[in-house]
Chains A and B, each alone.
Chain A
Amino acid sequence: SQQGEEDPQALSIQEGENATMNCSYKTSINNLQWYRQNSGRGLVHLILIRSNEREKHSGRLRVTLDTSKKSSSLLITASRAADTASYFCATDAGGTDKLIFGTGTRLQVFP
C-alpha cells in the first residue's frame, strides 16, 4: 500500500510565483525525500530530510517536516518554466529497507 498521499494532485502557476506541495504519510519514518520526474523520464533526487530535522533548504527549495502530523511540504520559490514536472515525496516506510513513493503532484509553470 502507498505510504504517502500528496496534494494538490495538480498545480498550475505563473513563472515567478511560489509552488507549495504537501505530503502526508502513515507510519513512522527515519527520513523523507523529495524527487522530481520530468515526463516519462527517470526520477531525480531533490532533498532528504531526517526525522529529527524540521526544515531544510537547498537553493530555491524549502522542505519542512512535522513528524507529529506525519506531514511534509515542499516549497519551490520563484518558479521557472523548467520546474514543470511531477514531484514525489518518498519515505522509508517505518524504517524498512523500502523507499515508498507518494501519489505525486504534477506542477505546470507557465512562462
Chain B
Amino acid sequence: DTEVTQTPKHLVMGMTNKKSLKCEQHMGHRAMYWYKQKAKKPPELMFVYSYEKLSINESVPSRFSPECPNSSLLNLHLHALQPEDSALYLCASSQEVVNTGELFFGEGSRLTVL
C-alpha cells in the first residue's frame, strides 16, 4: 500500500466555521507534512511532523492547527479562516525526515473560504 489518502477532496467553509482536513498513510512512514498550494504556484511547506511530534512550523497563522494523533494520521484543524486561505492543501509522508528522501503525496483537499 503506497497511498496517502486525504479527506475531504473538496471543502467549502465560511469564515466563522471550524473544519478539519484529514490525512492517512499506512506505509509505516515516520514523517508527515502539510503543504499549501495556490493556483499556478509551487507547494509551500506549512508543518512537518517527525515521530508524531511537530518538528517544523513555517510561521503558519494560528488559525491553522495541526495534529498527529498517531503515526498513520495527520489532521489540520481550520478555524476563522480568511478568503485568501483558499488553496489546495496537500499532505505527504516520507520514511524519515532527516535528509528528506522521497515524499509521497495525497491528492489534496481543495479548500474554498467564503
Contacts and interface: CB of A to CB of B under 8 A. Distances in A.
Interface of A: 2, 30-31, 33, 35, 40-45, 48, 88, 92, 95, 97-104, 106
Nearest to B48: A97
A101 B43 contact: yes
Contacts of A106: 40
Interface of B: 4, 31, 33, 40-45, 48, 50, 55-56, 58, 88, 90, 92, 97-108, 110
A43 B40 CA distance: 13
28 contacts: A2-B42, A30-B100, A31-B100, A33-B102, A35-B105, A40-B108, A42-B90, A42-B105, A42-B107, A42-B108, A43-B92, A43-B103, A43-B105, A44-B105, A45-B103, A48-B101, A88-B42, A95-B99, A97-B48, A97-B50, A97-B55, A98-B45, A99-B103, A100-B45, A101-B43, A102-B42, A103-B41, A104-B41
B110 A40 contact: yes
A74 to B, nearest CB: 15
A41 B110 CA distance: 10
